[in-house]
Every structure is written in C-alpha cells, then in structure tokens.
Chains A and B, each alone.
Chain A
C-alpha cells in the first residue's frame, strides 16, 4: 500500500537554502537551483530533515512532563497501564495508537549520535544519555534509521518543492507568474490555451487583459488578448486544496517557458549584510557579504509519497500522514533553510488531499 500527498506551500518570509559554497554567483551566498532550469527550489533533503525534527518536537510535546526524559519510567508504566497514560489527554491517534512511540525522543531527529548501538540498547537508554535514534517510534519509521543490528528505509519519500507561482512587481501591482511547463509538471492540465511568443504573456485578470503590455520587473511583455483565456478556477481546482491560490485571486500571468527563469532570477530578494565590530560598534572592515533568497509570497508545489514496509503493517499510512500533517505547523514558526533567526524561512504548508494506491 502506498499513498501520495500533494503539497502546496507559500513562503511567509524570504527562504534561503544555500548551496554551501558549491556555486559562484552574483552574491556570496547563493541558493539552490534546479540544474536544468536554473529556477530556485527547496530541496527534498531540506524539507525532510526539517520535518523530521518538527515531528520529533511534536511528539515530545505530547508526553507528560514525567516521561519526557526517562524512558525506563515510560516502559514501566506502559507495561502496567498502556501507552495512553504516557501522553497528555486527547492526543491524536497517530501518537497514542502506535506502541513504538513510547520510545520517541528529540534525539530521533537529526544525525544519529550512536549508530553503533543496537536498537535494543538505544531504546532503553535515557534521553539525556545520547541514545541516538530509537529505531521504534513513528519518527524513526517515517524517516528511516540505521543502527548496528537493524536499518530501515524511511516510509516517506519527499520530492523537492518547486516554484509554482512566483510573485513579481508590475506597474499594476503584484502578479504571480507561472508557465505552461511548470503547470504541467505540477500535474495541472490547461484546456485550450493559445500559443504565444516569448515576448508575450497570457494574463488571467479581466482588467489586466485590457492592457497592451505589462512589465514583469524590468522586462516588458505584450499582453496576448486572444480567446480562449486561461481559467484560473480550473487551475485552482486541480491543485486540490485551493486555499493557497485563493490568496491570489485572478492575478496570475503565464509566461513562456523559455523566459520564466530569467524573470524569476531577476526578481529574487538580495540582501547585503555586514558584521559589526563589537569594540567600535561600527561595520567590520572586509566583513560585508551578500545573500539571495526566494521572496515571500512564492507558491511551491511538491509531494510526499508514503510506502508501507512489506512485512510490517503495524504503523499505518494514515498515522504517518496524520503525523506529517500535525507537525507541519512548525514550518510556520521555525521555518526551513538558513537564517531563520534573522527573518528568513517561514513556510505555510497547506492542508492536503490524499490519494491511496
């Protein structure tokens, strides 16, 4: 059994996911881009790593105070009274419905400190004893683990989050651009959309269609007014939960696949920062650096596929899906990527529709 979750998200802050110095560019700190299109993206690795931590945080927050650290106490109580007693009242099914969750800890996220311990050894160590991944809880099962005696792949497979709609300044206000190719990659079918040249754009808003041309940042494009026009409600319907697109109304512009990377890369947010010398309180010489980021208001699409272990049906796909849904709230407060303590990174992931295979 497997399940596919379609994800739509909007950036609430600029998002910076650095390349770690593996590319050179107009700024010192460049962001990750798709190698084929040169369009920035949020890699699945960043999403999965952060989500693992947020799931661990969520389950940790559901434990009663006495059981947050002490695994031996959890085990004693579990044998006498069952797993529900370990958690606060009214926790969701994915927390109390899976027995392996009694071993869950913050340490189940991040790199495993103790991969040389066996699963049995890890699960009984106290959480402040550096036990590493427990190998039993929903976090370890969803994202995978590797201990001395047992390794298991994760049940969840994350795709990259690619840009679906990108906000650009125009003289008529902000508009969100996309292209036929991007919509097609996101699984959105467009009916009877006219062909157009690279110097033309298709606009969806009625008022925008009255214009002869529209600027997207510094580039000016001719508005193609031919019928039929693009039906935004059709796009919204195919995305599933359309709350992301409701924010935009009809303010969508479709540009050529050949040009879209140029417009996106010309309208990224760039920041210049400097270190402060603590003695003088002024800017430190030679410490100026620049970074780029995906601007706030960008809408992304991607998916998570969940696949059961063939011989282990104890953890249901629904629990994993619920766990992901319950823990995604942390993306709205703690964010994803770098510089999250300096106004970057918050991402709102919208509720999703699911498809069972």
Chain B
C-alpha cells in the first residue's frame, strides 16, 4: 500500500508524532486551538501568516512558540506529495520562503481545499492527542 492510499492513518501518525515531539518544547492545547480556528475562519493563507507571526514574532517574546514553525514547515514537507505542488520545498530554510508556496497553492481551488482539509484533520487529531497527553500528566 502506498503512502497516499491510507491518508487517515498517515495524518494520525503524523499528528501524534507532532504532539510527542513538541511535548518537550511545551505543547499547548490553546496554541493548536488558535491555529485551527484561524485555519477554519480565515483559510490556508491566513493560517500561514498567523503561524509565521507566532513563530517569528520578533517584537513579542511572549507569543513566540516553536510549535507554530512546525505547523508550517513540517506539515508542508510531510504532505506535499499528496497536494502535489510543483515547488521544490526541501531547500526552504526560512518560513518566509513558504510565501510563494502558499500563494501558488491558492491558484487551484481543489488543491487548496484539499490541503485545508488535511491541515484541519492534522490539527484536530493533534488537539485530541494533546488533550490525552494532558489527562495522562494530570
């Protein structure tokens, strides 16, 4: 079975890994909720700029969180084979380089909405994995 054939399991696996990896870097359920809220209400590009601002917010140290950087770079790298963007993203070093990737994505409505669905599902699963982690630690 190829990777793309079992998308739900891939999303689940990835969201679990994401929460586990971030556990040491303080996973915060509210941060997942906020990213998910922006994604649902303002779309994929809104989600990208929101996460970028929270990951790189130079003026406000309080809002900075490595989690938001993961929400962009890791997810895009992991699931780009499904969305099939023509962009060469492996070489992207900074979050600013994803700007063109997201602009490009919005040109095709089906790809854009499919990517949104994937993002939404990853964050939804991550949300519940994070909740479960919180419950175990309590």
Contacts and interface: CB of A to CB of B under 8 A. Distances in A.
Interface string B82-113: 00000000000000000000000000011001
Nearest to A221: B109
Nearest to B44: A218
Contacts of A288: 30
B57 interface: no
Given A218-B46, A290-B33, A26 B40 contact: yes
Contacts of A26: 36-37, 40, 120, 123-124, 127
Given A26-B124, A266-B43, A198 B109 contact: yes
Interface centre among B41, B46, B109 (most CB of A within 10 A): B109
A217 B116 CA distance: 14
B43 A218 contact: yes
A5 B36 CA distance: 41
B42 A218 contact: yes
A265 B116 CA distance: 12
Contacts of B43: 217-219, 266
Interface in A253-284: 259, 262, 265-268, 270
Contacts of A259: 109, 113
A35 B118 CA distance: 18
A333 B95 CA distance: 51
Chain B: interface size category:
10 to 19
B128 interface: yes
A217 B43 CA distance: 9
A199 B107 CA distance: 10
Interface centre among B30, B40, B128 (most CB of A within 10 A): B40
B40 A265 contact: yes
A290 B45 CA distance: 23
A310 interface: no
A265 B36 CA distance: 13
18 contacts: A26-B36, A26-B37, A26-B123, A26-B124, A26-B127, A217-B41, A218-B41, A218-B43, A219-B43, A219-B109, A262-B113, A262-B116, A266-B40, A266-B41, A267-B41, A268-B40, A288-B30, A290-B33
Given A218-B46, A266-B40, A288-B30, 5 more contacts: A26-B120, A217-B43, A219-B43, A270-B37, A270-B40
